């Protein structure tokens, strides 16, 4: 890393830490039902919602009941979004007169926004009206993010409670996530974005004259409100086709910095919340340390590869080392683009300010690795926390096997049931990615979407299923994915990657809550020190990265060797 790269990273982490601690403590009070400074404003809104849906927020749920409520809530949201998109032509605020989206694209999009993936096989400004963007995409951004936070809180309660059959109330958790966390942060960020020039209006496209005398339509609309929750909720779905590379979504370096700040804010704060809930801040700190190790390593490597540039171009320029600016905005440059790329893939956000398809082979591979190892390097809101907890359980299980003791985590014994649930959750995404990628490169319908032959084409397909299966949503952008084949298959990947992780996590929460806490002994493997953090990082890399080593060797690694040998095309 150059000095400027390190300087920007250090400043970013300092600001992030300064905000994550108070937010994490605030969320601990929110979900414990304690008094907060937002009570006078948000309590009436919360009560109104409970009365509207006729539920008792204090009624505790078993993990099965919690799962049923979560599934019903999310499926209803997806069905509502599907209807909005299909009936778009009949709805108001449709200034361009757009028709309803095709059934397969509508299915893919509804599933995408419901699962917090926000994979977009369409261009926002050319496909969706203002009404659908507001009532459909923006609302679902809030709901999917709140779902992830709710699952994280249920898991924390599972470890905290002792011989208890319940893990909380889904409606309480999701409502509190919306009213006390997501909505206040989004209002603040949206106002800031408007101050930087991001549009927030209901106006039709503006028609202007170009310097050449031609006519051009400039799309605008309620951008700031969707942009705020897209970033804060680690959703990533852009109002515009080019996402956060568009000056209306991300106008300048200051807005870009706050994009990055808000993407990591809640995932980092949840580690603080965890430490507070467990009454030992070291439990949250060790998870945060593991995340930071993986994140900083990924950023350093990406900066190095992008600053080194294309070997063939460097040779043609007389040996000069030119940075790879292809697909990047000049107003951001290499450092800010690389940092954005690493953060958005590490956080399962999917927003982009540069085109990942144009990164160097190994620079793009780091972004892909961030995704395929699972939602653990900060991850999506809530999803990153329960993702790394799964690996923490797996780590103590492996450590227990090494020393011949029954594994324990947070004072609870880890049994066969918990390990089975962990393996279902951890192996679902790799299985979906590898199987669907193999199908796509073998049959004509899959190969029809590949725009580049050879290793790069394989990387495009691998990324196209890695991103949906891990609920990231970013794309390599080179593959033609708006087809019946890819819309259906990536839709299934999103559903499996989301709910075949959430359901096992809730099952673990229910199982842990029913167990009796065990006092620490001399034989207990410590889970609050540097050794555990290092072992956790090792397990994440071994289980996550090595699973994909063969296919990565056939894709970006071979592409890099071709570039080095002068045969890249």
Query: Quick one: which of 428, 445, 450, 492 has its CA closest to 111?
Result: 492
Burial of residue 81 (CB within 10 Å: 0-12, 13-18, 19+) is buried
Mean local confidence (pLDDT), 324-352 = 92
Answer yes or no: is pLDDT of 19 > 90: yes
pLDDT for the residue numbered 517: 87
CB 170 within 8 A of CB 177: no
Q: Report the C-alpha gap between 411 and 97 in whole angstroms.
A: 60
Q: What is the C-alpha to C-alpha distance for residues 33 and 477, in angstroms, rounded to an integer?
A: 44
pLDDT at 178: 96
What mean pLDDT comes out for the span 459-480? 91
What pLDDT does residue 437 have? 96
Please write the tens of the pLDDT for every residue from 462-471. 999 999 999 9
The answer to whether 306 touches 363, Cβ cutoff 8 Å, is yes
Residues 6 or more apart whose CB falls under 8 angstroms from that of 172 comprise 57, 58
Q: How far is CA 237 from the centre of its chain?
A: 11
For 74-136, give the DSSP string: HHHHHHHHHHHHHTGGGSS--TT-PPPPPHHHHHHHHHHHHTT----SS-HHHH--HHHIIII
Average pLDDT of the chain?
Answer: 92
pLDDT, tens digit, 9 for 90 and up, residues 377-409 = 999 999 999 999 999 999 999 988 877 777 889
Q: What is the pTM of this model?
A: 0.95
Q: What is the predicted pLDDT for the residue at 250?
A: 95
Cα separations in angstroms, 257 against 11, 86, 248, 264: 10, 36, 15, 11
Q: Decide: residue 381, CB within 10 A, 0-12 exposed, 13-18 middle, 19+ buried.
A: buried
User: Which region among 202-211, 276-285, 432-441, 460-469 has the lowest average model confidence (pLDDT)?
Assistant: 202-211
Q: What is the pLDDT of residues 83-132, one digit of tens each?
A: 999 999 999 999 888 999 899 999 999 999 999 999 999 988 889 999 99
Q: Report the pLDDT value the prediction gives residue 3, as an integer from 0 to 100.
A: 66
Q: DSSP class of residue 285?
A: H
d(CA 514, CA 163): 4
């Amino acid at each position: 890393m150059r000095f400027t790269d390190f300087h920007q990273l250090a400043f970013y982490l300092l600001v992030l830490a300064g905000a994550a601690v108070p937010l994490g403590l605030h969320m601990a009070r929110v979900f414990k039902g304690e008094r907060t400074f937002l009570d006078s404003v948000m309590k009436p809104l919360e009560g109104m919602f409970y009365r509207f849906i006729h539920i008792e927020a204090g009624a505790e749920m078993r993990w099965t009941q919690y799962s049923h409520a979560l599934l019903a809530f999310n499926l209803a949201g997806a069905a509502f979004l599907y209807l909005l998109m299909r009936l778009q032509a009949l709805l108001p605020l449709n200034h361009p007169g757009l028709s309803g989206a095709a059934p397969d694209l509508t299915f893919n999009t509804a599933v995408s926004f419901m699962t917090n993936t926000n994979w977009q096989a369409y261009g926002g400004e050319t496909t969706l009206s203002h009404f659908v963007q507001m009532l459909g995409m923006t609302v679902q951004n809030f709901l999917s993010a709140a779902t992830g936070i709710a699952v994280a809180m249920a898991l924390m309660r599972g470890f905290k409670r002792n011989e208890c059959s319940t893990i909380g109330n889904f409606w309480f958790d999701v409502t509190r996530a919306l009213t006390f966390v997501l909505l206040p942060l989004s209002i603040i960020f949206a106002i800031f974005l408007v101050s930087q020039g991001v549009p927030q209006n209901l106006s039709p496209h503006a028609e202007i004259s170009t310097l050449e005398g031609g006519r051009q339509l400039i799309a605008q609309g309620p951008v700031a409100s969707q942009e705020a929750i897209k970033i804060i909720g680690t959703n990533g779905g852009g109002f515009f086709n080019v996402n956060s590379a568009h000056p209306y979504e991300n106008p300048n370096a200051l807005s870009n910095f706050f994009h990055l700040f808000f993407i990591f804010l809640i995932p980092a704060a949840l580690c603080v919340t965890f430490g507070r809930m467990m009454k030992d801040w070291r439990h949250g700190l060790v998870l945060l340390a593991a995340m930071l190790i993986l994140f900083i390593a990924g950023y350093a490597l990406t900066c190095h590869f992008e600053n080194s540039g294309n070997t063939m171009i460097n040779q043609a320029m007389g040996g000069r080392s030119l940075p790879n600016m292809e697909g990047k905005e000049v107003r951001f440059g290499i450092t800010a683009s690389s940092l954005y790329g690493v953060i958005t893939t590490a956080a399962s956000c999917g927003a982009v300010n540069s085109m990942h398809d144009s990164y160097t082979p190994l620079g793009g591979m780091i972004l892909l690795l961030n995704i395929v190892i699972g939602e653990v390097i900060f991850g999506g809101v809530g999803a990153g926390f329960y993702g790394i907890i799964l690996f923490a359980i797996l780590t103590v299980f492996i450590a227990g096997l090494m020393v011949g003791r029954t594994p324990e985590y947070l004072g609870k014994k880890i049994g066969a049931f918990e390990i089975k649930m962990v393996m279902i959750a951890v192996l679902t995404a790799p299985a979906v990615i590898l199987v669907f990628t193999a199908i796509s490169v073998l049959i004509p319908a899959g190969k029809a979407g590949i725009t580049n032959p050879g290793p790069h084409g394989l990387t495009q397909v691998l990324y196209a299923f890695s991103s949906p299966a891990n609920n990231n949503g970013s794309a390599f952008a080179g593959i033609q994915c708006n087809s019946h084949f890819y819309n259906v298959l990536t839709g299934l990947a999103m559903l499996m990657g989301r709910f075949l992780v959430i359901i096992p996590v809730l099952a673990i929460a229910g199982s842990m809550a029913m167990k009796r806490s065990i006092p620490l002994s001399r034989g207990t493997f410590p889970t609050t020190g540097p050794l555990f953090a290092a072992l956790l990082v090792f397990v994440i890399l071994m289980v996550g990265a090595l699973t994909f080593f063969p296919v990565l060797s056939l894709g970006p690694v071979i592409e890099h060797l071709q570039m080095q040998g002068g045969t890249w095309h």
